Amino acid sequence: MSQPLLQVENLTILHRDTQNVLVSNITFSLEQAGILTLIGQSGSGKTMTCRAILGILSRHGFQIKGNVCFDGTALLSLKEKERNRYYGNQIAFVPQNPMTALDPSRKVGHQMAEFLRLHQPMTKKNALSLCEKALIETGLNDTGRILGSLPGQLSGGMLQRVLIALAIAGNARLIIADEPTTALDAVHRDQAVEQLLHLREQGCALLLVTHDFHVVHHAKGQVLILKDGRIVEQGDSEEILQNPQSEYTKALLDAVHLDWR
């Protein structure tokens, strides 16, 4: 049996000053081209868990215990230069607010091309060509205008697609998307999920963070329910949505009144 693409074992996060446990013993695995959705209310530890996996949680403010392995490599023990071979290249991140991932003073095309050239040897012309093709794959056909725009001239939904396009152009093997649909209406929410699912068809694994059970229903795959930094339920999404075992999960589902239950 092949090893998981991502293996998280007993991930625990403590606040360094107070030693308060913020995330406790999170364990899960994600296969190549698999989907895992982390869901829970605000403060449940979803984003903090992903930030620890991504290596962007401050080591000065937090103590991280446990193991995070990507394709057999223990990420938490790598030095920064070694981590750069994985983060942003094989592991891509789509943040809740895509504006925070881009320099507001530089054109989108320049930033996208620079990012690709940082991880792969290529000319700027070839990098821009790859970016243009990837943007079209996400449904953004006005590539010239987008590449020539500043981030502030594009909508939040378009900027999310720009980051997804970067993951496509960079051949990412894992995408971690933190609340990718929060700022979107129902139509654009479903479109954003479809774009991510399209990447799965190409062999990319997805780790989604959300508080929206509609996203869980649409994405399917595995789901992990978090409360106060701990796992309260995990398993197949359809089984949990139809037959939740945890009282916390039942309460969350009852609160949203989904018509497909």
Higher pLDDT, 194 or 30: 30
Strand order across the 205-210 sheet: 91-94, 174-178, 205-210, 35-39, 222-227, 230-236
Helix, strand, coil % in the chain, rounded to nearest 5: 40, 25, 35
DSSP 3: P
β-pairing, 205-210 vs 174-178, is parallel
Segment 193-207 mean pLDDT: 86
Contacts of 47 (CB under 8 A, 6+ apart): 96, 178, 179, 209
Given pLDDT bands bounded at 50, 70 and 90, which one contains residue 37?
Answer: very high
Ramachandran bin of 72, using left for φ above 0, alpha for ψ from -120 to 50, beta for the remaining angles: left
Its CATH architecture, for the domain 1-90+174-183+210-261, is 3-Layer(aba) Sandwich (3.40)
Segment 101-108 mean pLDDT: 94
pLDDT digits (tens, 9 = 90+) for 121-139: 899 999 999 999 999 988 8
Q: Is the pLDDT of residue 164 over 90?
A: no
H or E element: which one contains 233? Answer: strand 230-236
Q: What gap in Å lies between CA 34 and CA 27, rounded to an integer? A: 16
Q: With CA atoms as reference, report the closest residue to 29 among 53, 55, 8.
A: 8
> What is the percentage of the chain residues whose pLDDT exceeds 90?
56
Given pLDDT bands bounded at 50, 70 and 90, which one contains residue 176?
Answer: very high
DSSP 87: B
Instruction: Supply 178's token pair.
Output: 């933190």
Is 155 in a helix, a strand, or coil?
coil
Given pLDDT bands bounded at 50, 70 and 90, which one contains residue 258?
Answer: low
β-pairing, 73-74 vs 62-70, is antiparallel
How do the domains of the chain map onto residue ranges? 1-90+174-183+210-261
Beta bridge partners of 231: 226
Q: Is the pLDDT of residue 115 over 60?
A: yes
pLDDT digits (tens, 9 = 90+) for 139-152: 888 999 999 999 99
One-letter amino acid for residue 198 of the chain: H
In this prediction the pTM is: 0.88
